[in-house]
Amino acid sequence: MAASQTSVLVVGGGPVGLTLSALLSRYGVDHMLVETRRTTSSHPKARGISARSMEIFRRIGLEEQVRGAGLPAEQVYFYRGRDLVDPEFVRTGLARQPDNDDSGEHTPSPGLICSQDVLEPVLLRHAVELAGPRVRFGTRLVSFTDDGQGVLAVVEDTAIGSRRQVRADWLVGCDGATSTLRNEAGIAMEGPTGLGRYLSIRYEAPLGQVVADRASASYFLTTPGRGGFMAVDNDRHWIYQYPLTPDAPELDPSDHGHLAGLIRTATGIPDLDVTVRDTMTWRMDAQLANAYRRSRVLLAGDAAHTIPPTGGHGMNTGIGDADNLAWKLAAVTTGYAGDALLDSYEAERRPIARQVIGISTANAQSRAGYRIDDELLLTATYQSTAVIPDPDSAPKQTGLSPDGYRPGCHPGQRAPHVRLTGGDVGATSTLDLVGPGFTLLTATDNPAWRRRAETVQQTGIPLVFQAVSTVGSREATGLWERLVGTGGAPGAVLVRPDGHVAWRGTDPEVDLQAVLQRILTS
């Protein structure tokens, strides 16, 4: 077999793998993606897209497409009632923390509901536009060998059975909770399994008028043993999540007549016209891989962590993995960073997944219900060799902050959003000033900082200088200056391609190249 050559081989074409592909293309990384399925998912599965994921989609130019494919914002509520016709229902919205600062909004890209069967085609079209035939559905990973210098993989066309070899510098497993790649790499999962089992029934029924005054994203039924509904379009297309408890009688998923009866009982409408389309049985687990990297193999998404869906953070945590990993792979494969940079991927992302698993598990076990926190993942603060802490301030709490997002520019934090006027560059948020390489961001157009950035640019490290004052109002510039947190000194923050602050300083005579080398080679 003749071997193809690529820098990165991505295994798995779900939301995480496709996002990783789009980001690698954005950074100019040659890669190949293989996915066993011949088409995208037909089952809605994951649906909640958090603000942080929407910011990532904004960065790759997909925010409006994803938003247009999702439920309208006025339907992003959560219903509780005995059934769908309960007159005493309660409906609540996304939990957003009250503003305790003068920055107002925390993100330009609030979350929404966009089910996986709708999201995946949007991501696939974009990935193919950028990488063309290097994105290959209907192709499975058969085997691989890792010699420490690279990976030699064998992939197979699932339609005709032909096989070919692919030589890659790095192999990334985005192939889900039952990851073949993770198992072959000998990486174990830790944590409980079987926290619950459910039969997910995709069906059609004319429920649009029934829910017109209570339209929501999810419908939690308070009647014990009834489960709940997920709206696909709040009209004809729905998902019923039926709990398969240990004491419940066994169900035959092929008996659509019986399943339709369960749906009629749960809706509270005995004569509802129901057409069952398909089913999927799934198990709720709460597991974390004991490593995210083994030599030339890396894991992302469900291959690295299986998160209970109670909270809507599973897919979003995986998309965050892709965002963190993509720029590091770009830096390493391009040659301006050492392989050690990839160790910071696990150091930064594994603690986040552990926290999300804990929060989601607690939600699943709560009898009082739980909130859907759209801004939780905005609070992620990293600590690793790819972040240089301030020498004169105490370390800020790392990981997630369930108590709410507090904007700031402490190293490790996500650079905050400040609304801009746009100017010639069309930026309406400080987030739009970031990337695709590093960004040296200041409040005003300081010539000394600009010269430092130009010096680094000559070394081949991708870096741009941006000043908020050139595209923002006086109020926006002042707000950014306060958020930088350097006490009024003309400070600058060095922002990584994933939007997290790597370093901040006040001395424009600093050796910025040395700062970057420390981040990229430690």
Instruction: Mention every residue, 6+ apart, whose C-beta is less than 8 A from residue 193.
Output: 283, 285, 286, 287
Among 284, 307, 332, the domain-final residue is 284
Residue 77 belongs to some domain of the structure: no
- Within this chain, do residues 265 and 171 fall inside the same structural domain, yes or no? no
Residue 418 inside a domain? The answer is: yes
Q: How far apart are CA 380 and CA 414, in angstroms?
A: 7
Bridging pattern class, strands 287-289 and 189-190: antiparallel
Tens of pLDDT, residues 495-512: 999 999 999 999 999 999
Shared-domain flag, residues 21 and 156:
yes
Residues 6+ apart with CB under 8 A from 196: 243, 283, 284, 364
In the predicted model, residues of the chain with pLDDT beneath 70 are 1-2, 95-104, 394-396, 422-425
404-418 residue pLDDT tens: 999 999 999 999 999
Cβ-based neighbours of 510, under 8 Å, separated by 6 or more: 452
Among 501, 509, 510, 323, CA closest to 398: 501
Closest CA to 318 of 10, 62, 63: 10
Answer whether residue 370 is part of any domain.
Answer: no
CATH code for the domain of 259 = 3.30.9.10
Same domain flag for 326 and 454: no
Same domain, 421 and 308: no
pLDDT of residue 394: 65
Q: What single letter denotes the amino acid at residue 333?
A: T
Q: Are residues 422 and 483 in the same domain?
A: yes
Are 150 and 35 members of one domain? Answer: yes
- Structural contact between residues 96 and 104, judged by C-beta atoms closer than 8 angstroms: no
Whether residue 136 is contained in a domain is answered as yes
Dist CA 48 CA 75 (whole Å):
12
Whether residue 410 is found in the same domain as residue 455: yes
Q: What is the pLDDT of residue 100?
A: 44
**Which residues have C-beta within 8 Å of that of residue 325, sequence separation ≥ 6?**
20, 172, 298, 300, 342, 345, 349
**Domain identity same for 231 and 329:** no
Q: Containing domain of residue 344, as a range?
A: 3-71+114-190+287-365
Residues 201 and 234 in one domain: yes
Angle at 514 between CA 513 and CA 520, to 5 degrees: 90
Long-range contacts from 252-260, C-beta under 8 angstroms, 24+ separation:
253/199, 253/279, 253/281, 259/199, 259/201, 259/203, 260/203
What's 391's domain CATH number? 3.40.30.120
408 domain-assigned: yes
- Structural domain total, the chain: 3
* 417 lies in some domain: yes
Say if 143 falls within a structural domain: yes
Q: Do 341 and 311 lie in a common domain?
A: yes
pLDDT value for 45: 81
Q: Are residues 25 and 139 in the same domain?
A: yes
- DSSP assignments along 453-518, one per residue: HHHHHTTT--EEEEEGGGTS-HHHHHHHHHHHTSTTS--EEEE-TTSBEEEEES-TTS-HHHHHHH
What's residue 53's pLDDT? 98
pLDDT score of 425: 63
CATH number at residue 344: 3.50.50.60
Residues near 294 by beta carbon (within 8 Å), at least 6 away in sequence: 146, 185, 186, 187
Question: CB neighbours of 69 closer than 8 A, spacing ≥ 6?
Answer: 114, 118, 119, 122
pLDDT at 422: 65
Euclidean distance between CA atoms 358 and 311, whole angstroms: 11
